[in-house]
Amino acid sequence: MPDDSLFGKEKDFIFLKSRFYNDDKGVYGLFYILFEPATKNYEKMDIMATHFKTYINNVIPEGNWEACDWSILEDIINAAKFKGEFNDLITKDMQHAIVKILNSAEIEYITSMIIKKEIDELRKMFNDIFRKTLGESSVHFDFTFENVTSKDIENKIKMKEEAISLEKKEMDEKEAQYNKVKQQLPENSAIIDVSFVLSPVSGITMDELKTGQKIMVRIDLKSTKGKYFASLLEVEKEGVCKPIPATITKITKSPHDEIFFLVKIQEGIFGRIIETEPVKVRLFDPSKDKDLQKTVSMDKSGQNSSSDSTLDKQIESESNLLLYIIISTGIILLIIIIYLYMFSN
């Protein structure tokens, strides 16, 4: 059984790390198990199985596998689960099968194989374990071992906690900066995320940009808000935003070397860009970009400038539609179940 006192007295551990795949079943995955050789026990394990072959070919290709330490492997597994890029049923079945044998008398034999790095024996054993989930089809395993101490693990965890804390601080700073800028804009103005249109050859370097200059940007279509304003300005076509002109109104630099640009697209519509790379930006060219200068009539009374209010109504409408679809689907499924029950009797 796992020992909860991981950070007591200094201990030596071995991480067994594995990539595995079965092309016939279209199953690819990663797992690790932390063993304590002195007690012939295991401390923790995690696994994820997916149908995304990219986790074997791209995320951790064979050439990078040896250099992949346990902390990176742990992060990749956690990220895959967070994004939903894993098969829940297969993952649970495999985890249950591994934990079952780790909690049995076989643990001493397994630990001995880990210490001796008997890869062929490990492949045979895990093939037998996974066969209950994947059937008779053989699974390919790439194993690697990593010796660590409890101090090493503790240091990695602290580093992650510090990184998360720093990331949260940066996000809070960006939010505070956003709110500060928002307060300085005209009432009912909206700020949306946009990006530079790049021009590596003829563009102007980012550090040469000045307030008042007109540049070309694209609206970020990842958010509902971005899609709404792209539709409002009629600049979205087949999921791609056309370049649009915008005037730089504010440039500020954060303590983390991020440069914040506020640009004005229309009356009441502003865009924000946060950039760290020294990119070259495409300037607005009246002779070439005349057709791209789309204007929207903005009612000073606030009907069109109250864009956030209109957006809220759109989101509410979308939510109501989704709720209607869910309820309708539930009723249909209930009717089918009742019908099948009556038919079976």
Tens digit of each residue's pLDDT, the chain (345 residues): 444 445 457 889 999 999 999 988 899 999 999 999 999 899 999 999 998 888 777 777 777 787 888 888 898 898 888 888 889 999 999 999 999 999 998 999 999 999 999 999 999 999 998 887 887 778 999 999 999 998 988 888 888 788 778 777 777 776 776 677 667 777 778 888 999 999 888 899 888 999 999 999 999 988 888 888 888 888 888 888 999 999 999 888 876 677 889 999 988 899 999 888 888 999 998 877 766 654 443 443 344 444 444 444 544 444 454 445 555 555 555 554 444 444 444
| Residue 142, amino acid | D
The total of other beta-carbon atoms located within 10 Å of residue 35's CB is 25
Q: Can you tell me whether residue 248 is helix, strand or coil?
A: strand
Whole-angstrom Cα Rg for the chain:
28
The 10 Å Cβ neighbour count of residue 258 is 15
Torsion of Cα atoms, 209 then 210 then 213 then 217, to 10°? 50
The residue among 11, 18, 17, 4 whose CA lies nearest residue 36 is 11
Q: What is the pTM of this model?
A: 0.52
How much is the pLDDT for 301?
Answer: 38
Alpha helix segments (H runs only) across the chain = 54, 62-65, 70-83, 88-102, 107-116, 119-134, 150-184, 224-232, 286-289, 307-344
Q: Which residues pair with 191 in a beta bridge?
A: 270
∠ CA 233-239-240, nearest 5°, is 70
pLDDT at residue 5, rounded to an integer = 46
Q: How many CA atoms within 13 Å lie on the side-chain side of 344?
A: 6
Tokens 């530079």 -> residue: 196
Residue 53 to residues 49, 57, 156, Cα–Cα distance (Å): 10, 6, 28
DSSP state at residue 291 = G
- Could you tell me the strand order of the sheet in which 41-50 lies? 41-50, 27-36, 12-22, 140-149
Judging by DSSP bridges, how do beta strands 244-253 and 41-50 pair with one another?
unpaired
Query: What are the residues facing 10 on neighbouring strands?
Result: none
Dihedral, 42, 43, 49, 53 alpha carbons, nearest 10: -90
How far apart CA 316 and CA 309 sit, in angstroms, is 11
Can you give the pLDDT at residue 66? 79
Residue with tokens 């079976």: 344
Sign, Cα dihedral of 183, 187, 189, 190 = positive
Give the closest residue to 145 by CA, choosing from 20, 18, 40.
18
Residue 194 near residue 262 (C-beta atoms within 8 A): no
Contacts of residue 282, defined as CB under 8 A and 6 or more positions apart, other chains included, come to 196, 197, 198, 199, 202, 203, 215, 216, 243
140-179 b/e (C-beta count within 10 Å ≥ 16 → b): ebbbbebebebebbeebeeeeeeeeeeeeeeeeebeebee
pLDDT of res. 196: 93
Specify the pLDDT at position 275.
86
